[in-house]
Structure 1
């Protein structure tokens, strides 16, 4: 049995965002008040309404939902996702991957061979906004990579 492990981002203090996956195109979002990439527009909207203790993960989950529901693109994020948006200090986080469900209701893993995943690898699945991935009580189920 091959168990996939998340690979940590090189710097625990940085957050890297991309408008889409490498096989997708980034879309422009046309809004009356301004034009910008879909990621930028919805990121700014989400940050303006974010709670004082919101994390990058909290904001990016809503951004991804907005962008993916309007365009055929899936924004990506890596790094210190549990870092508060508006704080100077950060206590760290556990590594993880973000998954999504496609139009056919299939789980799509955002990770691959570079991360140690291949056919037969097993992954644990958790609810959105989970912060602790080392507790069995937080795990929903496990899945096996089939292709």
Structure 2
């Protein structure tokens, strides 16, 4: 699945085969294997095999991908168990492009095929840069040079 980047957005790392679980505060749950992209502006989860989830009163919905603004993924934690795969969790209060729209979401990524350390390094670096840009009131990076 091809992803569409926003202006000045750069992919820092892409990790395939990550078990993804999204849980809404109303109980809606989405589970699938995803390809996870960390960019300088967002975390993008693309479902590799498609997933269907039920929204109360609205019927079934297909899940293909979601873009989480990097600063909306806070607080986040990285879980390194004694046995088993690495996990990463966050709660997202900001409205996502998912239904239901008025609820908060918990995101859990499980790295059973590797890539967790690289994900963590790139995510923390992107988060820190975005936070610093926000604190300095820098809204956008300068546009790329064009001839």
TM-score between the two structures when normalised by the length of structure 2: 0.28
Q: Structure 1 or 2: larger strand share?
A: 2
Q: How high is the TM-score relative to the length of structure 1?
A: 0.28
Where relative contact order (Cα < 8 A, 6+ residues apart) is larger, the structure is 1
Which of the pair is proportionally richer in helix?
1
